[in-house]
């Protein structure tokens, strides 16, 4: 029987690694740019601005979007934007999205923009590099540099010989993918990659920062993690290099902190659901799809308190964030919402049971995303597809896939440009 290690998160570790080791990232993946950037001027990260401009922002894509402003050595006014996308799965409209984002950035900032993609997916022949559109003699061609992490499997010796922190990042990424169903092998590779940092003579601060990335990416089941930490302590004692001696305590503290927050949020949501059901019945439960996406514990606490004293649904709705849609208060609409809420509630319960029976803990990692889906037909489709799905990723694609667009043929990797 194949057992998934845990649900892997590639996005958050990559985001932190790029921010922490940005210059090393440029040296490793875009070396021709490094000599032309004035590194005496700190790079400025503009991720929040990128989120406002990027097409499809906030739709659950598995990407890391980074926007960095750097100054060139040619002069004080020579500013350039570097737009980086780390894409961990294939996407039909990726090249068009890169083009749209590039043009929006140029229009917004009136600066030259270099867009690049780091493809961390596992499909060898997916290599989008060029967006092309032609009509009636008008042609647009946009080509951007692409790094395919899978290619480094054939260049493993070069990774091992490199002192660049992103050699370690790439090694951890590839071995996380290769050991998805093999927790013991993942522990072995996590140990090898961690020891390598000491052997390469990395600075203690770099070791600590890179270990955070490795530990975040190469997640292990509890028993394997215990073995890993035990071996790490012994290794550090032997080398007399206690650079990560706080790793276990740090992990415990982070785990406790995240666990307390998750537990508190689940407690609040369960209390809100119970109070809505007791006080307003099915009509009250119709509010849950607007409440469950809320992460702010203070807002959830305020909603729960409001239900205790509220005499009407409108009083509860007043505590919802303004950005969330307000349900109509007509009797017909309330009845329809009540029916949909009851059906959705039953479907989610069935999905949770089916995921647990078929995929175990790996399947249950999909639940937070599924519970936020308000599209009832999509929830029904997910419920019906569990029986034939081979992996949790098959189900994830149902709510992450987007319609394909005709984006032209891919060309060779070349200089970024619009002609």
Q: Write down which residue in 84, 112, 144 finishes a domain.
A: 144
For residue 77, being part of any structural domain is answered with yes
The sign of the CA dihedral 140, 29, 19, 253 is: positive
Please, what's the largest Cα pairwise distance for the chain?
73
Which residues does residue 80 pair with via DSSP β-bridges, in sequence order? Answer: 70, 112
User: What local confidence, expressed as pLDDT, does residue 406 receive?
Assistant: 43
Rounded to whole angstroms, the Cα distance separating 245 from 240 reads 11
For residue 163, being part of any structural domain is answered with no
Q: 353 CB contacts (<8 Å, ≥6 apart)?
A: none
- Split at pLDDT 50, 70, 90, the class of 308 is confident
Mean pLDDT of the chain: 79
For residue 331, being part of any structural domain is answered with no
Domain that holds residue 116: 31-144
Of residues 52 and 127, more confidence is placed in 127
For residue 25, being part of any structural domain is answered with no
Q: Write down which residue in 114, 144, 174 finishes a domain.
A: 144
Rounded to whole angstroms, the Cα distance separating 196 from 168 reads 8
User: What local confidence, expressed as pLDDT, does residue 321 receive?
Assistant: 65
User: What local confidence, expressed as pLDDT, does residue 61 receive?
Assistant: 43
Tens digits of residue pLDDT in 120-159: 989 999 999 999 999 999 999 999 999 999 999 999 999 9
3-state DSSP of the chain: CCCCCCCCCCHHHHHHHHHHCHHHHHHHHCHHHHCCECCCCCCEECHHHHHHHCCCCCCCCCEEEEEEEEEECCCCCCEEEEEEEEECCCCCCHHHHHHHHHHHHHHHHCCEEEEEEEECCCCCCCCCCEEEEEECCEEEEEECCEEEHHHHHHHHHHHHHCCCHHHHHHHHHHHHHHCCCCHHHHHHHHHHHHHHHHHCCCCHHHHHHHHHHHHHHCCCCHHHHHHHHHHHHHHHHHHCCCCCCCHHHHHHHHHHHHHHHHHHHHHHHHHHHHHHHHHHCHHHHCCHHHHCCCCCHHHHHHHHHHHHHCCCHHHHHCCCCCCCCCCCCCHHHHHHHHHHHHHHHHHHHHHHHHHHHHHCHHHHCCHHHHHCCCCHHHHHHHHHHCCCCCCHHHHHHHHHCCCCCCCCCCCCCCCCEEC
- Split at pLDDT 50, 70, 90, the class of 413 is very low
Could you tell me the end-to-end alpha-carbon distance of the chain, in angstroms, rounded to an integer?
A: 53
For residue 57, being part of any structural domain is answered with yes
What value does the mean pLDDT take over residues 217-225?
Answer: 86
Q: How would you list the strands of the sheet with 146-148, edge to edge?
A: 44-45, 63-71, 79-87, 112-119, 146-148
Rounded to whole angstroms, the Cα distance separating 72 from 77 reads 8
What value does the mean pLDDT take over residues 375-394?
Answer: 86
Q: Write down which residue in 96, 113, 144 finishes a domain.
A: 144
What value does the mean pLDDT take over residues 243-269?
Answer: 61
Q: Is the pLDDT of residue 164 over 90?
A: yes
For residue 357, being part of any structural domain is answered with yes
Query: What share of the chain in percent tops pLDDT 90?
Result: 30
CB 4 within 8 A of CB 181: yes
Q: Is the pLDDT of residue 280 over 80?
A: yes
Q: Is the pLDDT of residue 264 over 80?
A: no
Of residues 200 and 264, more confidence is placed in 200
What value does the mean pLDDT take over residues 330-342?
Answer: 58
- Split at pLDDT 50, 70, 90, the class of 244 is low
Q: Is the pLDDT of residue 55 over 60?
A: no
In terms of average pLDDT, the best of 6-15, 105-114, 315-324 is 105-114
For residue 251, being part of any structural domain is answered with no
Q: Is the pLDDT of residue 418 over 70?
A: no
Kindly compute the dihedral angle of the four CA atoms of residues 329, 333, 336, 337, in this order, to the nearest 10 degrees: -40
Q: How many domains does the chain have?
A: 2
- Split at pLDDT 50, 70, 90, the class of 411 is very low
For residue 335, being part of any structural domain is answered with no
Of residues 178 and 222, more confidence is placed in 178
């Amino acid at each position: 029987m194949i057992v998934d290690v845990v649900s892997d998160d590639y996005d958050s570790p990559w985001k932190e690694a790029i921010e922490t080791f940005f210059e090393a990232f440029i040296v490793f993946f875009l070396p021709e740019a490094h000599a032309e950037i004035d590194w005496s001027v700190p790079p400025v990260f503009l991720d929040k601005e990128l989120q406002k401009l990027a097409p499809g922002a906030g739709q659950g894509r598995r990407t890391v979007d980074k926007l960095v402003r750097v100054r060139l050595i040619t002069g004080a006014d020579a500013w350039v934007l570097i737009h980086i996308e780390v894409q961990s799965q294939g996407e039909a409209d990726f090249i068009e999205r890169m083009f749209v984002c590039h043009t929006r950035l140029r229009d917004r900032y009136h600066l030259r923009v270099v867009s690049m993609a780091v493809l961390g997916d596992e499909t060898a022949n997916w290599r989008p590099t060029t967006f092309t559109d032609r009509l009636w003699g008008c042609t647009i061609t946009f080509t951007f540099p692409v790094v395919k992490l899978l290619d480094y499997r054939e260049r493993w010796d070069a990774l091992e010989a490199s002192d660049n922190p992103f050699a370690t990042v790439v090694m951890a990424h590839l071995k996380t993918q290769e050991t998805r169903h093999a927790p013991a092998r993942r522990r072995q590779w996590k140990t090898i990659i961690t020891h390598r940092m000491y052997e390469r003579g990395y600075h203690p601060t770099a070791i600590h920062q890179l270990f955070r990335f490795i530990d975040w990416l190469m997640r292990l089941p509890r028993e394997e993690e215990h073995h890993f930490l035990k071996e790490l302590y012994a290794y550090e004692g032997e080398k007399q290099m206690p650079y990560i001696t706080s790793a276990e305590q740090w992990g415990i503290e982070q785990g406790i902190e995240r666990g307390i927050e998750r537990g508190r949020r689940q407690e609040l949501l369960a209390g809100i659901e119970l109070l809505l059901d007791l006080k307003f019945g099915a009509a009250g439960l119709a509010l849950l799809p607007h409440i469950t996406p809320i992460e702010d514990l203070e807002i959830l606490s305020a909603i729960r308190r409001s239900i205790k004293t509220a005499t009407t649904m409108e009083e509860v709705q007043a505590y919802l964030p303004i950005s969330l849609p307000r349900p109509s208060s007509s009797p017909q609409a309330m009845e329809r919402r009540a029916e949909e809420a009851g059906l959705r509630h039953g479907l989610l319960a069935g999905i949770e049971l089916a995921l647990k029976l078929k995929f175990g803990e790996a399947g249950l990692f999909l639940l937070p995303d599924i519970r936020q889906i308000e599209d009832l037909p999509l929830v029904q489709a997910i419920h019906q597809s569990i029986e034939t799905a081979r992996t949790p990723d098959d189900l994830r694609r149902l709510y992450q896939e987007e319609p394909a667009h005709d984006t032209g043929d891919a060309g060779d990797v070349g200089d970024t440009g619009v002609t």
